[in-house]
Structure 1
Amino acid sequence: MSDARTVSFGEALRFWLKLGFISFGGPAGQIAVMHRELVEQRRWISERRFLHALNYCMLLPGPEAQQLATYIGWLLHRTWGGIAAGVLFVLPSLLLLVGLSWAYLVYGHVGWVAGVLYGIKPAVAAIVVQAVWRIGGKVLRSPRQAPWLWAMAIGSFVAIAVLGLPFPLVVLSALALGWLGGRFAPAQFLAGSGHASAKAAAAPAAPALIDDHTPTPAHARFSRGRLLRVLLLGGVLWALPMAALLAWQGAQGVLPTMGVFFTQAALLTFGGAYAVLPYVYQGAVVHHGWLSGPQMIDGLALGETTPGPLIMVVAFVGFLGGWHTEVLGPETRFWGAALAATVVTWFTFLPSFVFILAGGPLVESTHGQMHFIAPLTGITAAVVGVIASLGVFFLAHIAWPVPGGPADFAALAIAALAALALVCFKLGVIPVIAACGALGVLLKATGWAA
């Protein structure tokens, strides 16, 4: 560590639990929250170490924000620190979605609930806009200083938003261009800050607990034996629950089928939740019939407006599948559905823990090496464009909820106010979401909202 300060395991646990309840806005918003809390305010990790870890997580299948939390928790407090950070990032979302899924099935559409959702959706779009500003400002200097990075950010936006190219292709292209950039324009690919640089120069930040030049801790150094142990344990933690489910229900049972299906989904989620949703829709709705198409869309709305990774929509899918198939019998439908949601969550997130705990030491060994930094910086620049495309998608969705219909100016006004509050007035995510939800209820009640 860079100085005498330490972070106790208990203090870290309290923060990771808090993060699990405030991590709204999908991966973009969650990464922005972690950056604000861990880099800017608490100074647990430096800018460059944060971005180095983020770039690795962006390469992996699975929820990058949850993997980033796991990575930083592992750096701070070894394996149990990473497990605690990753679990607490997901657990509040799982509990909330189980409760909301039950309320959705039992009580249906309630007026005030529709109003809350109406107000929160524009707030989510504003959180994404804030994330573009924060992360883009940390990576992109002025276009004159870093034209290559700006071109990659704009190119990735066009590739995703206009051409509809797959995210893995965008990432691999950014990786290749970053490697070339590191050879021919290395100064552009050094981790730096954009619109934050002036502030940094005027008021240098205090040293971070894990700073740019902090030596890699002993537990984070690569060991072949440790790598094999992590892979073996990950395999056991997958195989034992699957064996129990197969012994209970057989190969055609609902829960073993869900376990296999969502393991496959976890290994295909390059590009985040939106990249894998078509796969989940095709399997869960069309092939297995665990829920209907409209229910899948409603589940996505719930996933967007609850904390935790957006891929947690799979818990909603599992809950409805367990409810409709009555896995524990008709008299215990809730507990059967909750069990199905838990099984789905386990098999979806287990690979993420293995990726971080197995690959983390390899990533730490590349810290500060230009031939690794440049490709990963290129990915970060491309991710800025991808997040911007997500923001445009959200804004278009709230502006025209019915394609071809009239514009919803009330929703756009909420999004503008939320963005102003977040970017200009630096208000917290929770107060902004709460205010937008209350405003949505008011507008629905008075007839001002569609």
Structure 2
Amino acid sequence: MSGAPRPVAFREALAFWLKLGFVSFGGPTGQIAMMHLELVDVRRWISERRFLHALNYCMLLPGPEATQLATYVGWLMHGTWGGIVAGALFVLPSLVLLIALSWVYMAFGDVPAVAAVLQGVKPAVVAIVAAAAWRIGQRTLRNAVLIAIAAAAFVALFVFDVAFPLIVLGAAVIGFVGGRIAPAAFALPSSHASASGTHEPAVIDDDTPTPAHAKYSGARFAALLAVGLILGGGTLALLAMAYGWNGDYTQMGWFFTKAALVTFGGAYAVLPYVVQGAVEQYGWLTGAQMIDGLALGESTPGPLIMIVAFVGFLGGWTKALLGPESLFVAGMLGAVVATFFTFLPSFLFILAGGPLVERTRDDAKLGAPLTAITAAVVGVVVNLAVYFAAQVFWPSGRIDAFAIVLAAAGLVALVRFRIGVVPVIAASALAGLLAWALRG
């Protein structure tokens, strides 16, 4: 067994987090796997036990777990600024790319060839969401009780249009009560259990003492909480002063703050809530545009929840919030507002709550509510797949057989052959372009 690696300089960590922000494709599973390979196996910056402990905490939180995991590891290594840098660099490359792609989408989306590509991509998105439901369901629905929770969540959304936060709350209550009545039905799976046995020593090893900055301090907790509330509340107040409380930018800030607090189960789980608000309530974009945005989000690095940048951009552009002569600036401001308010709570959860987690490792008291919420997420994602399928398979009241075939092929590629999301989107885009060319 080799000796422990040398301590990591802040500059070295910064370079790694920047690189990760540009190559973090593959959704949360791929991003977490990539971080595990780099941080645990290759660089040995953190032991597997400490890495999985951080991951378990991030999975209990609302928000993008991969982003929060990067923030947590960065914070554990280099304090508050280490966490801010790690989390910000995980998100910023994706924000810049999505602003650019959103501009291309709005400026050139009506060009026939571009429209044909987007038309081909839509069925792939249906397949991606359906595959996500299948993947989460296989991992989550381990018994009849959890299947019933998933079915109830689907019916609540599809039939009764229940607000997503109420579904999350209801599932959490069921899990809390059920975990006491029938704990075996709500037990967490063991897929994230810590590894045992000997391992290569790491900079932050199993027995490495908690660094001073990661030890709980009531004063530090209160200060960080105050800073977070001032940043969020102050920015929201400035938007309200500039555009009024009912102005779209202010409502974006308020809406995406609420969305950030109910994103249990990943981005696919919160998308129905975003559809309810951004499409149906505020009219920032259409359902068809939401599908296109999801395809763009899947094709760029960073967390999938970055689709909120696309939503914000289209809201600023389509409503010409800064006037018809400043559409790009209006869209860019919308993207920044949506991203800021979506991710601010995640930073607060890690920077303020991390010391409590380091002090109480392996506490599984929230396991049963999390299990129930994740089961409900399956029903929510199935509802999202049905919603998207209705938009794609039956446009203008007629069946689109070509879209159904493309979606079926994409689903087989994703589930049966485990082909990546980006190749599936690229192949579907090419099929749409070829179909347009042949019709021409």
Task: Confirm or deny a common fold (TM above 0.5).
Answer: yes
1:350 to 340, 344, 347: 344
- Letter of the aligned partner of 1:335 in structure 2? V
- Letter of the aligned partner of 2:93 in structure 1? P
Is contact 1:49-1:212 (8 Å) kept?
no
Distance 1:23 1:438, change over 3 A: farther
The residue aligned with 1:229 is 223
The residue aligned with 2:294 is 303
Question: Which secondary structure does the structure 2 equivalent of 1:192 belong to?
Answer: coil
Q: Distance in 2 between matches of 1:384 and 1:14?
A: 38
The residue aligned with 1:288 is none
1:4 paired with 2:17, answer no
Distance 1:3 1:11, change over 3 A: same
Is contact 1:269-1:276 (8 Å) kept?
no
The residue aligned with 2:408 is 412
Equivalences for residues 138-217 of structure 1 within 5 A = 150-151=143-144, 153-164=146-157, 166-178=167-179, 185=184, 189=187, 192-193=190-191, 216-217=210-211
The residue aligned with 1:362 is 356
Q: What residue ranges of structure 1 are gaps of 5+ in the alignment?
A: 141-147, 286-290
Q: Distance in 2 between matches of 1:153 and 1:181?
A: 12
Distance 1:435 1:88, change over 3 A: farther
Q: What is the deviation of 1:357?
A: 1.8
Q: Distance in 2 between matches of 1:249 and 1:81?
A: 34
Is contact 1:152-1:378 (8 Å) kept?
no
- Letter of the aligned partner of 1:305 in structure 2? L
2:433 to 429, 433, 441: 441
Question: Which secondary structure does the structure 2 equivalent of 1:367 belong to?
Answer: coil
Superposed CA deviations along residues 41-89 of structure 1, whole A, max 9, x for unmatched, are 64254474254123322xx3x4444334433433343222322233233
Distance 1:317 1:218, change over 3 A: same
Is contact 2:28-2:303 (8 Å) kept?
no
Q: Distance in 2 between matches of 1:250 and 1:158?
A: 41
Question: Which secondary structure does the structure 1 equivalent of 2:393 belong to?
Answer: coil
Question: Which secondary structure does the structure 2 equivalent of 1:305 belong to?
Answer: helix
Q: Distance in 2 between matches of 1:228 and 1:377?
A: 29
Is contact 2:116-2:432 (8 Å) kept?
yes
Q: Distance in 2 between matches of 1:4 and 1:223?
A: 29
With structure 2 as the length reference, what TM-score do the two structures score?
Answer: 0.73
1:386 paired with 2:377, answer yes
Q: Distance in 2 between matches of 1:255 and 1:220?
A: 36
The residue aligned with 1:79 is 80
- Letter of the aligned partner of 1:75 in structure 2? L
1:54 paired with 2:61, answer no
Q: What is the deviation of 1:301?
A: 2.5
The residue aligned with 1:35 is 32
- Letter of the aligned partner of 2:33 in structure 1? R
The residue aligned with 1:66 is 67
Q: What residue ranges of structure 2 are gaps of 5+ in the alignment?
A: 41-45
Q: What is the deviation of 1:176?
A: 3.9
Question: Which secondary structure does the structure 1 equivalent of 2:191 belong to?
Answer: coil
Q: Distance in 1 between matches of 2:205 and 2:324?
A: 56
Superposed CA deviations along residues 384-406 of structure 1, whole A, max 9, x for unmatched, are 67347626853884596218836
Superposed CA deviations along residues 207-257 of structure 1, whole A, max 9, x for unmatched, are 776666665444333211111111111122234434544555566655445
The residue aligned with 2:43 is none
Distance 1:130 1:107, change over 3 A: closer
1:94 paired with 2:95, answer yes
